[in-house]
Amino acid sequence: MKKIILATMVAIAGWLTTQAQSTPAPERYNKLLEETAAMDLRKAEFLMNATMETLTKDPKAYRQMMELAERRFSDAADPIHNEALYMVVLKHATNNYVLSNTEKERQRLLLEGAKKNMIGSVATDFDYVTPGDKTVHHLNELNADYILVYFNNPDCESCEAVKERLANSELINKLVNEKKLIVLAIYPYDNQKLWKKAQYPKMMINGWNQSRQIEYAELYDLPTLPCFYLLNQKHQVLMKNEGSLNKVEAALNSLTTAEVAGPTKP
């Protein structure tokens, strides 16, 4: 295993050196991140860790790669958004000698946020109320094949645009009508008047986290809005902090198509 790691590090160092002859650091690092994100996840995680290890010899380069990885991997709107790979970078940064203690503390806090509601885990429950209804509802009470949680802010132009796209999505509406999907729109902040004034399509539940536990207790890591969490019937997280409705639709289409096709015959 050590030989494999060493060989990988040598290969990465060679690649970076070759690229450095004609390409500025941010551009070649960006290319490496994009190539890594396109790989099989296990291979990508191994390569990302080896890359960070290779760059420990150059603290400036290490920080450049770390900052770029944060921008590309943690941003839900970025095409190569990948929390698993971002966590690899954060773990390396917190366990290595390159950064100062102050820098490490920031990376540690970011890592704690990334660990919340990880893919495969059961989503943390939260309460919500709906307009004109004083009853307190809970996420864990919802029952459908899939639950799409749409964290949004009515004061956000992007959120409003995505809300309209949701309302006009043929696939989303089809699954909702078939009772295979519940779309739960959640406003997690404190402006009740703003939330009450906002209009939401009938095909989704319009909820407000009145207790503010999502924000105060930091139940969910929400770096940007809008973002989606896709859950299965057991409330396990299938997608998190996803900013692309196209990716959500692709995932739902793949999941529901597989269900219709059924298991493959031996």
Are both 178 and 227 inside the same structural domain? Answer: yes
Are both 25 and 100 inside the same structural domain? Answer: yes
**164 inside domain:** yes
Are both 163 and 183 inside the same structural domain? Answer: yes
The pLDDT of residue 237: 96
**122 inside domain:** no
**150 inside domain:** yes
Are both 79 and 109 inside the same structural domain? Answer: yes
The pLDDT of residue 12: 56
pLDDT over threshold 90, residue 266: no
Task: Count the domains in the chain.
Answer: 2
Q: What is the pLDDT of residues 43-54, one digit of tens each?
A: 999 999 999 999
Share of the chain above pLDDT 70, in %: 88
Q: What is the pLDDT of residues 180-222, one digit of tens each?
A: 999 999 999 999 999 999 999 999 999 999 999 999 999 998 8
Q: What is the pLDDT of residues 221-248, one digit of tens each?
A: 888 899 999 999 999 999 998 888 999 9
Q: What is the pLDDT of residues 243-262, one digit of tens each?
A: 889 999 999 999 998 766 55
The CATH number of the domain where 246 resides is what? 3.40.30.10
**121 inside domain:** no
Structure tokens at 25: 């650091």
Q: Is the peptide bond before 226 cis (omega within 30 degrees of 0)?
A: yes
Q: What is the pLDDT of residues 70-125, one digit of tens each?
A: 999 988 778 898 889 999 999 999 999 999 999 999 999 999 988 899 989 999 99
Are both 108 and 142 inside the same structural domain? Answer: no
**266 inside domain:** no
The pLDDT of residue 26: 75
Are both 89 and 161 inside the same structural domain? Answer: no
The mean per-residue pLDDT over the stretch 160-182 comes to 97
Of 86, 115, 144, the position where a domain reaches its end is 115
Range of the domain at 84: 2-115
Are both 190 and 107 inside the same structural domain? Answer: no
Of 89, 115, 141, the position where a domain reaches its end is 115
**105 inside domain:** yes
Of 115, 149, 166, the position where a domain reaches its end is 115
**120 inside domain:** no
Chain centroid to CA 100: how far? 27
Are both 50 and 159 inside the same structural domain? Answer: no
Q: Which amino acid is at 233?
A: Q
Distance separating alpha carbons of residues 146 and 171, to the nearest angstrom:
13
Are both 136 and 232 inside the same structural domain? Answer: yes
Are both 21 and 69 inside the same structural domain? Answer: yes
Are both 52 and 178 inside the same structural domain? Answer: no
The pLDDT of residue 101: 94
The pLDDT of residue 74: 86
Are both 23 and 98 inside the same structural domain? Answer: yes
Beta bridge partners of 207: 186
**243 inside domain:** yes
